[in-house]
Amino acid sequence: KKIQKQYVRCEFEGCGKIVSNPQYLKRHMKYQHMLHRTFACSYPSCGRIFRFKTQMEDHEKLHS
């Protein structure tokens, strides 16, 4: 079954990104504009934080 696309535009000032459904807009807002960062590097005194676990894992490889 094909999901019908319902294009929506991000109303955040200066953005205007168009996504194909409201769920994608919600994710876009959360990670691009709310700066929701939940993953912190475990290396002592680094202090870097990331939006996605994979970004943190890739970063931590640099400390090895």
The per-residue pLDDT for range 17-53, each reduced to its tens digit, is: 999 999 999 988 887 887 666 789 999 999 998 878 8
* Residue burial 21-44, b: 16+ Cβ < 10 Å; e: rest: eeebbeebbeeeeeeeeebebeee
pTM above 0.85, yes or no: no
Q: What letter would DSSP give residue 17?
A: -
pLDDT, position 4 = 72
Q: What letter would DSSP give residue 32?
A: I
